[in-house]
Amino acid sequence: MTRSTWLPKRVLVTRSAAELPHGRQIVDRCAAAGVEDVQLLRTDRLPSLGGDDPRSAYALAKSTLAVVVAPPSKRKLQPIPPSADWRVDLAEGCPAHCQYCYLAGSLGGPPITRAYANLDEILDAVPQHVGGGAVTSGTEERGHEGTTFEASCYTDPLGIEHLTGSLSAAITRFGTQDLGGPVQLRFTTKFDGVDPLLALPHNGRTRVRFSVNAASVERFEGGTARSQDRLSALGRLASAGYPVGLTIAPIMPVEGWREEYAALLDAVSAAVAGVPQLDLTAELITHRFTPKSKEVLLGWYPRTKLEMDEDLRRQKRGKFGAVKHVYPAPVMNELRSWFDEALATRLPEARFLYWT
């Protein structure tokens, strides 16, 4: 247990989930962790949690863990550039309270964290996708990592690992089984409860990236581990032979950003100093929002100080025409060239993967 360890107020378990061994294991873990309100439902429908306004509905949902069976549509692996070849979801939702949460607007309904009980079925889909990825296969920087599978697109899997054990099962499966070719499991986290992972037979096939940021941006990250605790966890995993990484996101040009990001890179350098055969990557993602995510976030955090001003942004259209508000080109260029230089000088051991 660490300071940021999450304990839900209630756990709802659907009937089908309770019939599966992994679902029952999650129930046992929740009880052992001290959750008193564990409800075994008679059907597979989650009840409405209530809440009179977005803020109270949010609070009820964020204190609830649901144990459910992922339907076939959620089990279908999807390409997820530029992070990885494929997305594999062990859960959906996250117990933390980041005021810029990248899940806002992409999940339907109240933000209940859902852990999937049919983990074996989900992981059984992996071998059919090995060798078929478009992002890393064949690229010079990442081709040697094999086909990559991203487990943190819709959740922070480490934030609920003490209650699910799903991540340990996935890391062990990737590390010990022949999945039909070179593979890498990947996930990003803002939590630090890595001790159960240290002795797993990961075989270097899981890359754990820590989402880190400037001190002024960390203020927006409620319910997560503090930055120094994340970096300490990163150092421990690297010493245990895991490939590790930084997801510096969302990058924001806050006041004093150069000094704050420089301090961050220096702290990372100190955290990995002396790690033998360090394998460290860096993924850099600037802040963006969509009309939908802004609306959802303002419902959840009505008094947020997070800048989401369309007039200060440039519109970018996604593949299907969806609008994103990103920083204008001069700001992007300034940030990008600063990070290029700062990474090269302050953290030369990090392999840069992408900027977006």
Q: Could you list the residues that contact ligand SF4 (CB under 6 A)?
A: 94, 96, 98, 101-103, 156, 190, 224
Torsional sign, CA 231, 233, 237, 243: negative
Could you give the angle at the alpha carbon of 137 between the alpha carbons of 136 and 139, nearest 5°? 70
Q: Please name which of 154, 169, 193, 209 lies closest in space to residue 353, comparing C-alpha atoms.
A: 209
Cβ burial 87-102 (10 Å sphere, 16+ → b, else e)? bbbbbbbbbbbbbbbb
User: At closest approach, how far in Å is the CB of 79 from ligand SF4?
Assistant: 20
Torsional sign, CA 58, 296, 289, 76: positive
Could you give the angle at the alpha carbon of 31 between the alpha carbons of 26 and 33, nearest 5°? 95
Query: Rounded to whole angstroms, how far apart are CA atoms 286 and 346?
Result: 20
User: Of 129 and 190, which CB lies nearer to ligand SF4 in the complex structure?
Assistant: 190
Query: Rounded to whole angstroms, how far apart are CA atoms 356 and 27?
Result: 39
User: At closest approach, how far in Å is the CB of 101 from ligand SF4?
Assistant: 3
User: At closest approach, how far in Å is the CB of 94 from ligand SF4?
Assistant: 3
User: Of 96 and 268, which CB lies nearer to ligand SF4 in the complex structure?
Assistant: 96
User: At closest approach, how far in Å is the CB of 233 from ligand SF4?
Assistant: 14
DSSP β-bridge partners for residue 92: 114
User: Of 100 and 129, which CB lies nearer to ligand SF4 in the complex structure?
Assistant: 100
User: Of 137 and 224, which CB lies nearer to ligand SF4 in the complex structure?
Assistant: 224
- Any idea which residue has 């690229």 for tokens? 139
User: Of 29 and 230, which CB lies nearer to ligand SF4 in the complex structure?
Assistant: 230
User: At closest approach, how far in Å is the CB of 301 from ligand SF4?
Assistant: 11
User: Of 12 and 225, which CB lies nearer to ligand SF4 in the complex structure?
Assistant: 225
User: At closest approach, how far in Å is the CB of 161 from ligand SF4?
Assistant: 13
> What distance, in Å, lies between the first and last C-alpha atoms of the chain?
34
User: At closest approach, how far in Å is the CB of 314 from ligand SF4?
Assistant: 23
User: Of 130 and 297, which CB lies nearer to ligand SF4 in the complex structure?
Assistant: 297
Please spell the DSSP secondary structure of 234-270, one letter per residue: HHHHHHTT--EEEEEEEE---TTHHHHHHHHHHHHHH
Could you give the angle at the alpha carbon of 224 between the alpha carbons of 304 and 13, nearest 5°? 105
